[in-house]
Amino acid sequence: TTNANSGVNGAWTWAQVLSTAAAGQRVNALKGSYSLGNGNDTPTNAGTAIAPIWLRGFDTTIGDIDTDNTLTKPSLAWGTGRFIPKNYWLLSNLDMSGANTNATFDAGAALGSRVDRCRIANSSTGYAVDTFAGGDLAITRSWLNNTSTGTVLRARAPVRLAGCTLKGGSTGLSITTTSLVPVT
């Protein structure tokens, strides 16, 4: 990963991304396979509505996947761990996978989370993506998958969807909120 305010040789470790990324920063993740283990990864800092923290994948040149989705995305793979963002985290151009009985991407109650052009998969009985009361999540142009018997997306809080594919699992979408609306 790289950032204008990053560590030695312009690169951060995943632990540094989680502990250091701050409101208004963009962290660019280079293609490759990143094995993140079995722990739940929650960043220390939150972004703000006007200064989110943006974790963005790239193939060879920063920003290249923004305009060419056929390029290779970085692969963030958890064993039984998961990613639990703070408020106003924007994720784009990433492959995320895990085998968590909760979720691979657990938006929890984080406000203003955004996922764009990502592939998120879960190979356990958990969800690819889960939300919780109070959160606000927008998922655009993304592919969500559960290769087991779990549900692909559980919406227990406001969720906005546009241009997404939900695949696999015993259920594609579980809605326990009245706030599922299309992105306009």
Model pLDDT, residue 11: 82
Confidence of residue 3 (pLDDT cuts 50, 70, 90): very low
What would the pLDDT profile of 107-135 be if each residue is shown by its tens digit?
988 899 999 999 999 999 999 999 887 67
CB 75 within 8 A of CB 95: yes
Task: Please give the C-alpha separations between residue 74 and each of 58, 120, 162, in angstroms, as whole numbers.
Answer: 7, 12, 22
Model pLDDT, residue 132: 82
Evaluate if residue 182 carries a pLDDT over 90: no
- The mean pLDDT of 77-96, rounded to a whole number, is 96
How far is it, in rounded angstroms, from Cα 126 to Cα 8? 37
Model pLDDT, residue 159: 86
Model pLDDT, residue 99: 95
Considering the entire predicted model, what is its pTM? 0.90
- The mean pLDDT of 62-91, rounded to a whole number, is 95
- Give one DSSP letter per residue of 99-155, joined into a string: --SSEEEEEET-TTEEEES-EEEE-SSSEEEEE-TT--EEEES-EEEESSSSEEEEE
